[in-house]
Amino acid sequence: MNVILLGPPGAGKGTQAKLLSVELKLPHISTGDMFRDHKTKGTELGRKIQAIMDGGGLVTDDITNAMVKDRLAQKDASRGFILDGFPRTVAQAEFLEGLGRKVDAALSYDVPEEKVIERISGRRSCPKCGSVYHVSSSPPRKAGFCDKDDTGLVQRDDDKPENVKKRLQEYAQKTAPLKRWYAEKGVLLDIDGVGTPEGILAVTQTALAALR
């Protein structure tokens, strides 16, 4: 089964993708994780990605498509996948279809804008080990410092409120039309993205069962 997750930044797609990966026994493929890996390694591609994300923009199609194509060619994705963060545009959706990987379910997680801004702007990450916290929902034991290595936590530039708003605007312009595209193919499932991870997973599983 090939599943993609849609929704604005901060909608909880990554959390649901991880949970679904376990339930469906399919690989969770996150473009965000792939982007961060390149940035951490300091590759030329990583530097390009860093500049785009620091400005609150979305990584260009040519960069993203190449990374996804290479990842889907790996053995563990042969029987299906859960794509988190791709496609983000209709052009990317057409590229995915051109690879012969038909999407069976497009899960669209809907979350109000004010909730998204609260979720993202409250994130703090450890620059040493990569652990992520939230100032209100999952704070570290010692305010401002990582539980694992006591390194000072930082707020990523793309998590600052002004950049979150830019990302949401860009999402509305480029990514929201995907809902219409997948709705026309009969595979779009709208999911309420507000609630506990477990509760949202249960709603997702019910929607997937009905689609099958």
pLDDT for 51 beyond 90: no
What's residue 81's pLDDT? 96
Predicted TM-score of the model (pTM) = 0.79
Q: pLDDT (tens digit, 9 = 90+) per residue, 158-207? A: 899 888 988 888 888 887 789 999 999 999 999 999 999 999 999 999 99
Residues 48 and 155: beta-carbon distance below 8 Å: no
Task: Kindly list the catalytic residues.
Answer: 13, 88, 123, 156, 167
- Please give the mean pLDDT across all residues of the chain: 90
pLDDT for 53 beyond 80: no
Q: pLDDT (tens digit, 9 = 90+) per residue, 92-128? A: 999 999 999 999 999 999 999 889 999 899 999 999 9
- Across the chain, where does the E strand assignment appear? 2-6, 28-30, 81-84, 105-110, 123-125, 132-134, 188-192
CATH numbers and ranges of domains, the chain: 2-115+165-211 (3.40.50.300)
pLDDT for 1 beyond 80: yes
